[in-house]
Amino acid sequence: MYEDGQVRPPYARLEHWTRAMPAELRHLKQAEAEALFRRIGITFAVYGEGGDPDRLIPFDMFPRVFTQAEWLRLERGIKQRARALNAFLVDVYGRGEIVRAGRIPAHLVYRNAAYEKAVVGFVPPRGVYSHIVGVDLVRTGPDQFYVLEDNCRTPSGVSYMLENREIMMRMFPALFRENPILPVDRYPELLRRTLASVAPAKCDRDPTVAILTPGHYNSAYYEHSFLADMMGVELVEGQDLFVEGEFVWMRTTEGPRKVDVIYRRIDDAFLDPLCFRPDSALGVPGLMDVYRSGGVTIASAPGAGVADDKAIYTYVPEMVRFYLGEAPILENVPTWQCARADELKHVLENLHELVVKEVHGSGGYGMLVGPCSTKAQIAAFRAKIEANPGNYIAQPTLALSTCPTFVEEGIAPRHVDLRPYCLMGERVELVPGGLTRVALTEGSLVVNSSQGGGVKDTWVLAE
Amino acid sequence: MILTVTHRTLYRYDAPVRGVVQSHRLTPAAFEGQRPRDWRVTVTGGVTGGGFRDGAGDWVQGYTVQGPVSEIEVLVEGVIETADTAGVLRGHREAVAPPVYLRKTAATRADNALRALAEKAQTGTQDPLDQAHRLMAAVADAIDYRPGQTDAGTSAAEALARGAGVCQDHAHAMIACARSLGLPARYVSGYLMAGEDEGPHEAAHAWAEIWIEGLSAWVGFDAANRCCPNAQYIRLGSGFDARDAAPIRGTARGTGEERLDVTVAIAAVQQ
């Protein structure tokens, strides 16, 4: 928000808005926002963080703002990354040129738990494995963004992006008249079009799209039903689908209806008990045979997870150069692989200033934030790393950007990150916005909702 | 050799089921060691589903049967020409990178005893092919061929602890040991034509393949018979373990208890 002690220009226009809002009005508005969130029922935890599914994630009314110029650069960088990740997936399930060229170690790909033998040799429609790429970004300077991680499977949280906007528009219509805020409400239609554009070869009519959910016990069920609603497609569970002949069918009141594209929100392991976990009751028996013979498209494609593994992450800039022949627009956070002896040594010597994460972990659990940890916590974590170095990576503690945030005393800077949702099908699309998560605790760098994080609306202003 | 195969699998449900979905790996691929001449799979009342050649080079074919149904027969009838290639799999088109087959599965996890067995077999030789042959002998010595001692869910470690098992157990133990030595290994399901006065025979057979980097090839090892697959073997498909390589994977919708009856007959055609 600040630059040389001054409020950055995109935020300046919000100054009079906050000045004109006394504390009583602010509390009233905050209560109104919470009531709205409760009423629509958006109470799930983001990013599969677990915890109480009925917990409300704190919503901060102060929006995060980008100029169009800032956004355009981000947009180019995110789309570039999404294209490179998909090229990588097609390659490693095909000839593996990037491995043969020695640009990525073979074991990181082929011995990766997310590498799926069952899809080797298969090129999904339009060569897309990951149709929704969620790229987690942090800002560390006026022109400096770092990618924290890529999410190629089923990134969640997009319903927050849409609902945060909806609620802001309802509560502060004047703000939207006074500021040229680019809309994000095209997202559901773009998602539907993206999914329809990857219908399989055997589909010879307007494709039927369905969202496959594990059910209402899942923490992201609200998002599944919200997206189905917004796109005007069916929300189904495994038991609503069955395989007959060469296709997948959905039970409807008018009889079976063929399904062409399944946007699945369940993990690979549960998709098809004949191919993966035999005890899965969430999937559809025989689904993979239909998929591989071109009778249905599964989005994201089974096996897409190998691209967003934290050990593979290090090589994404290399993918951009290798497949696209371009210089990476977005930078990776410098990352040390504890699996390498020399890098492990550096990590163990500098634990007090590093962030250490589990290679396969997520949700801010099982990580060490060196500068915020006690000596005892660091010592305990050191023992865990030494016991299994290959399971950890380390990154420097970044000076994350802050965004004005409403706190008890008024407005104060709090650290934020950003997850935009890039769509890939016939076209690569990105709506101008994303989900901004904010660390509500002063000084905290952890934005996960399970650890005291909240969410904000994210604005991109037209010039 | 020219071999004929008749493989009948009968599923009987004590209460009619609403439908059956199956995924078959019942059609042998063509390579130097075998060339199918005539091959047919029929499923009573079955609707042919999607079929495709997977990354491992096996033909996978889906079938569905609409219920209510209380009995289903899967019949494989074929004629195939085979040749002895000393167990080396040549001319087999596949795309899976060998290191993928270092993955551990529940059935093939190496415990201390399996690792010790592998270490012992490895001692005294650096040559992976030699190691694999010694491994085959070690597994055959450690696990007696005795049907009825193990079942489909028995792991390699359990079979070794018991000291008895069938071809599935020998293959799992071979795979667990090979992977613990860093050699990619996989499970192969197929058929074996019984000779006259040889060792134990199971017409529906299974063995292991180990990737030999020096040959750039997969080589088969049948610990149950202490030999490499020859012209008496027909290869159907491969996988990480028995479940992954199963010739028939299927499920029925309904509550009926399933009973299975399998008969396999392999014969050489007189020339």
Closest CA to B45 of B66, B19, B23: B66
Cα distance between residue A255 and residue A253, in whole Å:
6
Is A289 close to B23, i.e. CB distance below 8 A? yes
Cα angle, residue A293 at apex, residues A322 and A252 outer, rounded to 5°: 115
Query: CA A18 → CA A62, A166, A332, A404, A407, distances in Å?
Result: 9, 20, 35, 10, 12
pLDDT tens profile A155-193 = 989 999 999 999 999 999 999 999 999 999 999 999 999
Number of domains comprising chain A: 2
What is the rounded average pLDDT of the residues A13-32?
85
Query: What pLDDT does residue A43 have?
Result: 59
Q: Do B224 and B251 have their domain in common? A: no
Per-residue confidence at A143, pLDDT binned at 50, 70, 90?
Answer: confident
Q: Do A384 and A355 have their domain in common? A: yes
Per-residue confidence at A47, pLDDT binned at 50, 70, 90?
Answer: very low
Cα distance between residue B8 and residue B22, in whole Å:
15
- What interhelical angle do B128-142 and B167-180 show, nearest 10? 140
Closest residue on chain A to B99 (Cα):
A110
Q: Is the torsion defined by CA of A446, A448, A450, A452 positive or negative?
A: positive
Query: A233-239 long-range CB contacts below 8 Å, 24 or more apart?
Result: A233/A192, A233/A208, A233/A209, A233/A263, A234/A208, A234/A210, A235/A210, A235/A211, A236/A210, A236/A211, A236/A212, A237/A212, A237/A213, A237/A282, A238/A212, A238/A266, A238/A270, A238/A280, A238/A281, A238/A282, A238/A283, A238/A284, A239/A281
Q: Do B134 and B209 have their domain in common? A: yes
Which residues are registered as beta bridge partners of A134?
A151, A421
- A103, amino acid identity: R
Residue B95, pLDDT > 60, answer yes
Cα distance between residue B113 and residue B127, in whole Å:
22
Q: Which stretch of DSSP H or E encloses residue A143?
A: none
Name the minimum distance, in Å, from the CA of A47 to any CA of chain B.
28
Residue A366, pLDDT > 90, answer no
Q: Do A242 and A254 have their domain in common? A: yes
Is B23 close to A111, i.e. CB distance below 8 A? no
Q: SS3 for A332?
A: strand
What average pLDDT does chain A have? 90
With a cut of 0.90, is the ipTM above it?
Answer: yes
> Does the CB of A242 have a partner CB in chain B at under 8 Å?
yes
Name the minimum distance, in Å, from the CA of A205 to any CA of chain B.
19
Cα distance between residue A245 and residue A298, in whole Å:
18
What CATH number is attached to the domain comprising B207? Answer: 3.10.620.30
Domain end call among A396, A414, A439: A396
Name the minimum distance, in Å, from the CA of A293 to any CA of chain B.
5
Is A292 close to B50, i.e. CB distance below 8 A? yes
Residue B126, pLDDT > 60, answer yes
Q: Which of B22, B59, B249 to mutate to test the interface with A (most CBs of A within 10 A)?
A: B249
Q: Do B193 and B176 have their domain in common? A: yes
What CATH number is attached to the domain comprising A345? Answer: 3.30.1490.270
Query: What pLDDT does residue A212 have?
Result: 98
Closest CA to A164 of A332, A293, A340, A40: A40
**Segments of A265-409 assigned E as strands:** 297-299, 331-332, 336-337, 354-358, 368-369, 392-396, 402-407
Residue A46, pLDDT > 70, answer no
Q: Do A210 and A131 have their domain in common? A: yes
Name the minimum distance, in Å, from the CA of B227 to any CA of chain A.
28
> Does the CB of A274 have a partner CB in chain B at under 8 Å?
yes
Q: Which of A99, A116, A117 to mutate to test the interface with B (most CBs of B within 10 A)?
A: A117
Name the minimum distance, in Å, from the CA of A209 to any CA of chain B.
20
What is the DSSP secondary structure assignment for residue A255, as one 8-state letter?
S
Cα distance between residue B71 and residue B51, in whole Å:
23
Output A198 or A311, whichever has higher pLDDT: A198
All residues of chain A having their beta carbon less than 8 Å from the beta carbon of residue B100 are 110-111, 115, 117, 120
Query: What pLDDT does residue A42 have?
Result: 65
Residue B94, pLDDT > 70, answer yes
Percent of chain A at pLDDT exceeding 90 = 67
Question: Length of chain B in residues, anyone?
Answer: 271
Looking at chain B from residue 229 to 268, which residues have their Cβ under 8 Å from any Cβ of chain A? 240, 243, 249-251, 253
What is the rounded average pLDDT of the residues A44-64?
68
Q: Do A248 and A372 have their domain in common? A: no
All residues of chain A having their beta carbon less than 8 Å from the beta carbon of residue B250 are 274, 285
Name the minimum distance, in Å, from the CA of A284 to any CA of chain B.
10
Q: Do A351 and A450 have their domain in common? A: no
Q: Which of A100, A274, A277, A288 to mutate to test the interface with B (most CBs of B within 10 A)?
A: A274
Residue A269, pLDDT > 70, answer yes
Cα distance between residue A84 and residue A134, in whole Å:
14
Query: What pLDDT does residue B197 have?
Result: 53
Number of A/B CB contacts below 8 angstroms equals 100
Q: Do B76 and B114 have their domain in common? A: no
Number of domains comprising chain B: 2
Q: Do B72 and B91 have their domain in common? A: no
Closest CA to B52 of A181, A103, A259, A294: A294
Q: Do A347 and A449 have their domain in common? A: no
Q: Do B111 and B173 have their domain in common? A: yes
Residue B50, pLDDT > 80, answer yes
What CATH number is attached to the domain comprising B255? Answer: 2.60.40.2250
**A335 exposed, middle or buried (CB, 10 Å; 0-12, 13-18, 19+)?**
middle
Q: Do A318 and A388 have their domain in common? A: no
* The most confident of A43-52, A207-216, A274-283, A446-455, by mean pLDDT: A207-216
Query: What pLDDT does residue A362 have?
Result: 57
Q: Do B55 and B116 have their domain in common? A: no
Q: Do B13 and B114 have their domain in common? A: no
Q: Do B56 and B115 have their domain in common? A: no
Q: Do B64 and B111 have their domain in common? A: no
Is B51 close to A273, i.e. CB distance below 8 A? no
Dmax (CA) of chain A: 67
Query: What pLDDT does residue A5 have?
Result: 60
Query: What pLDDT does residue A119 have?
Result: 98
Query: What pLDDT does residue A301 have?
Result: 98
Q: Do A345 and A436 have their domain in common? A: no
All residues of chain B having their beta carbon less than 8 Å from the beta carbon of residue A119 are 55
Q: Do A316 and A202 have their domain in common? A: yes
Q: Do B213 and B148 have their domain in common? A: yes
Q: Do A249 and A367 have their domain in common? A: no
What is the rounded average pLDDT of the residues A423-442?
95
> Does the CB of B83 have a partner CB in chain A at under 8 Å?
no
First-to-last C-alpha distance (Å) of chain B? 9
Q: Do B133 and B42 have their domain in common? A: no
Domain end call among A349, A375, A396: A396
Query: Tokens 């993918």 label which residue?
Result: A319
Contact B52, B60 (CB under 8 A): yes
Q: Do A373 and A226 have their domain in common? A: no
Name the minimum distance, in Å, from the CA of B248 to any CA of chain A.
10
Residue A73, pLDDT > 90, answer yes
Q: Do A42 and A190 have their domain in common? A: yes
Dmax (CA) of chain B: 61
Q: SS3 for A132?
A: strand
Residue B148 falls in which region: left (phi positive, over 0), alpha (psi -120 to 50) or beta: left
Query: What pLDDT does residue A6 have?
Result: 66
Looking at chain B from residue 97 to 156, which residues have their Cβ under 8 Å from any Cβ of chain A? 97, 99-100, 102-103
Q: Is the torsion defined by CA of B194, B198, B201, B207 positive or negative?
A: negative
Domain that holds residue A345: 334-396
pLDDT tens profile B216-244 = 999 999 999 999 999 999 999 999 999 99
Cα angle, residue B145 at apex, residues B144 and B147 outer, rounded to 5°: 125
Output A359 or B161, whichever has higher pLDDT: B161
Residue B138, pLDDT > 90, answer yes
Q: How many CA atoms lie within 13 A of A53 on its CB side?
A: 10
Percent of chain A at pLDDT exceeding 70 = 94
Per-residue confidence at A225, pLDDT binned at 50, 70, 90?
Answer: very high
Cα distance between residue A242 and residue A252, in whole Å:
12
Query: What pLDDT does residue A352 have?
Result: 92
Query: CA A125 → CA A208, A262, A420, distances in Å?
Result: 15, 13, 24
Domain that holds residue B13: 2-81+247-268
